[in-house]
A and B are shown apart, each in its own frame.
Chain A
Amino acid sequence: MARKSSDVQRLAGLELNALRLAGTLGDEFEKVRVPERGTTIFDLNGKPLFVRLPLSRGKEGLAYADIAVEPSLGAVLLAVSMGFHWKEAELLAEAGRAARKRRHSLKYDTVRFVAYSYPKIGVQFLAEHTEVLLLELVTWAEVPPARVDERSAPPRHSNEGIPLGPFPSNFERWSFIDETPPAIRRARARGFSTRIRNWDIGALHRIDPRTIRKSALEVRDLKLRLVDTRELHYSPRGTDHHVCYELRGQQTNVWCVGASAEMLLNFYRYTYDQVRLAQELGLGTLNNPSGLPYANVGLVVTVLEQLTSNALDVTMHVNPTFNVFRDQIRENRPSISFVPAHSRTVAGYTRNLMSIVNQLPYSGLLVYDPWPPNVGVITRWENFVTQTYQYAYSAVLQQV
């Protein structure tokens, strides 16, 4: 765990330099110094959650970076936010004035920043370790006491029964550490530890990460992986074979499922044309074609298994996540993807390992799309967050 200020500074420097190398942080960050100390932001239970480091160019405030010290946050670099100059002393003074305006006789001995509803931050006033007032940062509105009884039940993971965590309403306070379910906390802590270990390799100890420079991480014998990407190949040895997958356009304007099945079967060297596949899937004929009714989605599994004499073991995934497609590609297997009213196949993926400022990391799929009819397109990449994935079909070749 990163507790010492020098640890926080080093980790912040490494993370920010990686973003600079990836081009996510622009030229305005070049030669910006990462400060040794920042503001500790506490959880409501009193434990430190993260440190906010102000980033300045000369006397001009540029941005701030939030670096986790609590492993259950799951990542080291939590955010880089631009457009707000973080000045701890000025904010505390302002908070003090706002507090006195609300309560003239307010007595307190400690003031600290707390993430009262992460990532919302407030300034907490305490007297003898007990809170006497909590004001939301900048608006200086009073945050009311916790109303645990009034919370609605959080949503759960579909299969595991694990709540995803509390989803408080506006101004509802909650402790990030105490109220995140233990299983999720442990999983996130593992990711955090892996990240810390990755930054702890020998080659990186030869550099000084305290200044952000585009070339800071260009160290001999060190190859920094910024993108995770893979496409289908003839074999799992991607380096010595070309991409091995072919596009099939749908032969009618309603045979996307037939074309998708054809592409997947072709990969395993089965040759069934769309007329035959339409017959098996109940999609009519070339002169009188029809689409696959929503109620018949299970038929894809049956037909693919039958046509391969069960050499392929096919599974249907409902509401597939990105990892479902990624895992298939890593095993060098294509999959079929159903989106509303349409079907395509997936032959690769890419994802940024560095997140873009204030955004989720980019994840994209390489999609072999049978639309438009008789032609099709190869989409490189389909932005995963812009599509609704209803079903996926994976096919595993059975060992004899």
Chain B
Amino acid sequence: MAFGTGPAAIKDIARKYLASAPGIDTGTQLASVMEDPRPVFNPDRRPHSWLVGVSVKGRLVGFVQVLLDGIVMRYSMFPLVSDRGSEESGAEWLNPARARKRIARAAPEGEIVDGPFLSFDRSPDRLVWAAVVKTRDGMKRMMFAAGKSVYEAPARRDTFG
């Protein structure tokens, strides 16, 4: 099976991590709700990990990323108010329809958007919604949406960015 550990077990692993890891704010520990795990794929669509959203009062405050074998890779929190405005930083990550809309808006008219799926731009730290965009002449290219930022998959891979 591609995703070795099932979503129920992954959710349980994420819940236990949040409850026991040192330094996690007690308010989050007490008030948080674990969302259903979503699969994260490599850009070539091989399974990579699971993303388990952590919500407080209906707002996504962070996520636990768990590898396929159940090892917790990280727990990441969105800033309450981001440094470039007061957008709801987490809202983008559990809403593929919104990501698809953003990618479609950035793509030239007439191009077809297939997807998106949760993936990453080269490093698993750089989570994105990825979609294959088909041009009018039948060519395919990959586009990424990371929050409000939409861009084409970088052609050059030997950079830190």
Which A residues have a C-beta under 8 Å from some C-beta of B? 23, 227, 229, 231, 246-249, 251-257, 290-295, 297, 338-344, 348, 350, 364, 366-367, 369, 371-383, 385-387
Contacts and interface: CB of A to CB of B under 8 A. Distances in A.
13 contacts: A246-B83, A248-B83, A249-B84, A339-B123, A341-B157, A372-B92, A372-B149, A375-B79, A375-B89, A377-B77, A380-B21, A380-B77, A383-B72
B54 to A, nearest CB: 12
A291 B156 contact: yes
A251 B84 contact: yes
B83 A247 contact: yes
B59 to A, nearest CB: 14
Nearest to A351: B22
A379 B22 CA distance: 12
Nearest to A292: B160
Interface of A (DSSP majority class): mixed
B103 interface: no
Contacts of B24: 380
B67 interface: yes
B154 interface: yes
A340 B122 contact: yes
A292 B158 CA distance: 8
Given A253-B149, A375-B82, 8 more contacts: A253-B151, A291-B160, A366-B23, A369-B76, A377-B76, A379-B76, A382-B73, A383-B74
B73 A342 contact: no
Contacts of A291: 154, 156, 159-161
B82 A249 contact: yes
Contacts, number: 142
A294 B159 contact: yes
A247 B128 CA distance: 19
Contact of A350 (B23, B89, B151): B23
Nearest to A228: B22
B79 A247 contact: yes
B87 interface: yes
Nearest to A246: B83
A384 to B, nearest CB: 10
Nearest to B128: A372
Contacts of B97: none
Given A380-B75, A383-B71, A383-B73, A294 B158 contact: yes
B159 A290 contact: yes
Interface in B30-56: none
B147 interface: yes
Given A341-B121, A386-B67, A380 B23 contact: yes
A43 B87 CA distance: 63
B99 to A, nearest CB: 11
Contacts of B89: 372, 375
Contacts of B23: 229, 231, 348, 350, 366, 380-381
B114 interface: no
A266 to B, nearest CB: 10
